[in-house]
Chains A and B, each alone.
Chain A
Amino acid sequence: MDTRVTIAGVELKNPVMTASGTFGSGAEYGEMVDLNRLGAVVTKGVANVPWPGNPTPRIAEVYGGMLNAIGLQNPGIDVFIERDIPFLKQYDTRIIVNVCGKTTEDYVEVVERLGDTAADLLEINISCPNVKEGGIAFGQDPKAVEAITREVKRHAKQPVIMKLSPNVTDITVMAKAAEAGGADALSLINTLTGMKIDIHRRTFALANKTGGFSGPAVKPVAVRMVYQAANAVKLPIIGMGGVTTAEDAIEFLLAGATAVSVGTANFFNPYATMEIVDGIEAYMKKYGVEDVKELIGAVK
């Protein structure tokens, strides 16, 4: 049975990875998850300098999901290169570094710093709904998506994955813009912008008022967008949005994803990633699937 998949020339032992921001850089989960079993670890977004993030409360539970407005708190690229990459290098898994910034120059600076590190792939976050500058500002305008993709590609040594926002009218327009800019792969979806109001205190549940909606409830939206993007561009797609079980992961593969990222599920089941790896193998065995690649985009 072959569970390997390839993204932009980088081979992964299986199509299961972590979603940025839900897994730190792996260290916090190291006691409970054997990182060697994962196709890749996608790190929490890293900027050129440390970011303090948003005020608390930063999260709220909603029906079938959660809202978060962490605001991309991160230690900055210096600490990240010194501490987090060497940590991940100890494991037999691929390292995908999620990059965030407020300006094009910020992204370029981080991408250049990562050039000589052990990072296998770069995932460029142009879709965080919780930071005003950068993030979403780049991700909702196709011209901006194409321009930043091109600029990042010009400076990147590693293949570049553009992480797209679902908070757009037509995801295929953004997918095509990233492809035109030279992206090597796409990640989708980032979180949906949401809001919760505490009716007893008559205030917003999040200090940031709005937050990114994630968890099992968003999966149908994500599957639809992965399917649309996969049919609009030739790039490999990393599918995410509510992946909680192996069944969810397989659904994304069938819709056209080459790999999946497990996000919010890590918060309520720290063993989710490993269970999904096992579950995909069990599914392949049950249905006589020799190669996991047979599943990718198999539902037209």
Chain B
Amino acid sequence: MAQVKTEAEVRSQEKLAEGVYSMVLYAPRIAGEAKAGQFISVYTKDPSRLLPRPISLCGIDREKGELRIVYRVAGAGTEEFSHYRAGERVQVMGPLGNGFPLKGKKAILMGGGIGIPPMLELMKELDCERTAVLGYRDELFLNEEFAPYGNVYVATEDGSAGTKGNVLDAVRENGVEGDVIFACGPTPMLRAIKAYAAEKNLECYISLEEKMACGIGACLACVCQSKEVDHHSHVHNKRICKDGPVFAAEEVEI
């Protein structure tokens, strides 16, 4: 898989919820190779902010050569991105990371907060029975876009929609069953999902995040603790950008 750093053109930008934006980029060389669970590095235009922002792919349109990212404004860099309009040119690198394995007969896709976007492309690419369980603090986004591909359950912390609580509360309340779990979200959520999968003896894949610099496995900034000795440094540190971001849950200590 050859990654490339290239100029992309913004096709559209839309605010989905408070602080959450959806941006479509025309980047045919990346879109042609990308798959669900991979990410791109997006570079700001301010030269005082050197490092790219790693953002997961929410949508891949190989025919149109477009990538969609849905991201949360977390600082000055993502704030800058949120002001881009159609026609803006932006430097991006990708596709990066390994992506989700497309497997299972009955998949449960669990997304929490800004971990929801990568699950949408996975929902489209999986070719099996699938259920999405989406966890929010309060305001919903993207949930309706999952509906054409399977069942969708939501959980909100404030109880304003769906189950009051987290994704696992929604799984239990709705009796969601499957043979494989795919998940992305905050670490406490992933930790709970890993334990749930172990208890139910389900295959489970989780997508992790960490501060990154290079995005291609060279700088060793974004490591996570792995159960087995890693093949790069022969310690117990897998690189989230290169060996991940998707790991079999039992492969990593979170």
CB neighbours (8 Å) of B43 from chain A are 268
A238 to chain B, nearest CB (A): 20
Q: B242 contacts which of A22, A28, A44, A57 (Cβ < 8 Å)?
A: A28
Question: Do A24 and B50 touch across chains, with their CB atoms under 8 A apart?
Answer: no
Question: Do B219 and A53 touch across chains, with their CB atoms under 8 A apart?
Answer: no
Interface string of B221-236 (1 = CB under 8 A from A): 1111000000011111
**Count of A residues near B, CB < 8 Å?**
39
In the assembled complex, A267 has its CB within 8 A of some CB on chain B: yes
Known: A57-B211, A60-B211. A75 touches B234 (CB 8 A): yes
- Docked Cα-Cα span, A21 to B220, in Å, equals 9
In the assembled complex, B3 has its CB within 8 A of some CB on chain A: yes
CB neighbours (8 Å) of B47 from chain A are 64, 216
**Count of B residues near A, CB < 8 Å?**
33
Question: Do A61 and B210 touch across chains, with their CB atoms under 8 A apart?
Answer: no
Question: Do B216 and A270 touch across chains, with their CB atoms under 8 A apart?
Answer: yes
Q: A24 contacts which of B210, B217, B224, B234 (Cβ < 8 Å)?
A: B217
In the assembled complex, B172 has its CB within 8 A of some CB on chain A: no
Known: A51-B235, A74-B233. A61 touches B219 (CB 8 A): no
Question: Do A73 and B233 touch across chains, with their CB atoms under 8 A apart?
Answer: yes
Question: Do B210 and A75 touch across chains, with their CB atoms under 8 A apart?
Answer: no
In the assembled complex, B17 has its CB within 8 A of some CB on chain A: no
Q: A59 contacts which of B2, B211, B232, B233 (Cβ < 8 Å)?
A: B211
Q: A31 contacts which of B3, B212, B214, B235 (Cβ < 8 Å)?
A: B3
Interface string of A241-278 (1 = CB under 8 A from B): 00000000000000000000000101111110000000
Interface string of B40-52 (1 = CB under 8 A from A): 0001000111111
A86 to chain B, nearest CB (A): 16
- Docked Cα-Cα span, A97 to B219, in Å, equals 16
- Docked Cα-Cα span, A216 to B237, in Å, equals 29
Interface string of A185-218 (1 = CB under 8 A from B): 0000000000000000000000000000001100
CB neighbours (8 Å) of B237 from chain A are 52-53, 73
Question: Do A22 and B218 touch across chains, with their CB atoms under 8 A apart?
Answer: yes
The residues in A between 1 and 50 inclusive whose CB is less than 8 angstroms from any CB of B are: 21-24, 28-29, 31-32, 44, 50
- Docked Cα-Cα span, A268 to B186, in Å, equals 26
- Docked Cα-Cα span, A269 to B216, in Å, equals 12
CB neighbours (8 Å) of B211 from chain A are 56-60
Q: B50 contacts which of A58, A61, A73, A270 (Cβ < 8 Å)?
A: A61
In the assembled complex, B5 has its CB within 8 A of some CB on chain A: yes
Question: Do A32 and B4 touch across chains, with their CB atoms under 8 A apart?
Answer: yes
CB neighbours (8 Å) of A215 from chain B are 50
Q: 3 closest Cβ contacts across the A-B interface?
A: A28-B218, A24-B218, A52-B235
5 contacts between A and B (CB under 8 A): A51-B233, A53-B237, A75-B232, A268-B51, A268-B52
